[in-house]
Structure 1
Amino acid sequence: MPPEDLLALLDSLGLDRHGAPDDVWHQVPDAMDEIAMKTLADRAAPLLARAGYRVDIDAGLFGGSAYRAARRPPPPPAAQARRTR
């Protein structure tokens, strides 16, 4: 489960939080127009990728920084382990 501070950050960016038992995800709100969706994806994807999380964004929403962040390999396991302590 992601840390609450990361979930709160995604909430503050304007993403809608959804959940099921043992699973939490954020989605772009349905009411957003295409430009706002691309801007939101561009802001959120690098934050998540740097934190070592998988980023799943529809190809139509990719902007420059979101595309680069999602394609960047995740940090090595040792770096991820330090983050969870």
Structure 2
Amino acid sequence: MGNLADESGTDVEIYRRAFTPDAIHIVSRTDAPEELLALLDSAGLERKTEAIYTWHETPQGLSEAAQKQLVTCAVLPLLIADYKVNIDPDVYDVTAWAQTLREHRTTQAQAAGAPALPPPGPAGPRPGRTR
């Protein structure tokens, strides 16, 4: 018998379990490599182990909003490392995702020697519009 990631064919499943409402549950496939577990550790998630099962949870004491921000920000490094991730929409924070993506793009642009991306603002002329 496997876990939700095994059953779903993903590397990581992120969701809130009904009987642990004070934490978000992050389960990786049973044969997850240490590199995947280390990415979850480095995101600030707490590794838990019991018998043959290993999973992560958000740290105790975080608000619901902080929990959602933490797990959403953890997704980008996993995707960059080519892991298949499923995050429940109920624990996804679109604002945290946008900020994480913006920071990643800025870092990549600076590493390539390009100027930093401008902050979002009013768009210029739109395609198809005439003046």
- Bin the TM-score by the shorter chain: 0.5 to 0.7
- Of 71, 80, 89, the match for 1:41: 71
Higher helix share: 1
Q: What's the TM-score, normalizing by structure 1? A: 0.56
**Aligned residues with identical type, % of pairs:** 33
Contact 2:69 2:92 in 1 (8 A): no
Q: State yes or no: 1:51 paired with 2:93.
A: no
Q: State yes or no: 1:24 paired with 2:42.
A: no
Ranges in structure 2 where 5+ consecutive residues have no aligned partner: 1-30, 98-131
CA displacement 1:9-41 (0-9 Å, x = unmatched) = 111111010112221100011111233212111
| One-letter code aligned to 1:25 | W
Shift in Å, 1:58 = 7.8
The aligned counterpart of 2:40 is 10
Contact 2:45 2:57 in 1 (8 A): yes
Change (3 A) 1:48 1:23: farther
| One-letter code aligned to 1:44 | A
Contact 2:46 2:57 in 1 (8 A): yes
For the residue of structure 1 that corresponds to 2:59, the secondary structure is coil
Q: What's the TM-score, normalizing by structure 2? A: 0.39
Find the structure with the greater CA-based Rg. Answer: 2
Change (3 A) 1:58 1:17: farther
| One-letter code aligned to 2:56 | H
| One-letter code aligned to 2:57 | Q
Residues 16-25 or 42-51, more deviating: 42-51
- How many angstroms apart in 2 are the aligned matches of 1:57 and 1:46? 15
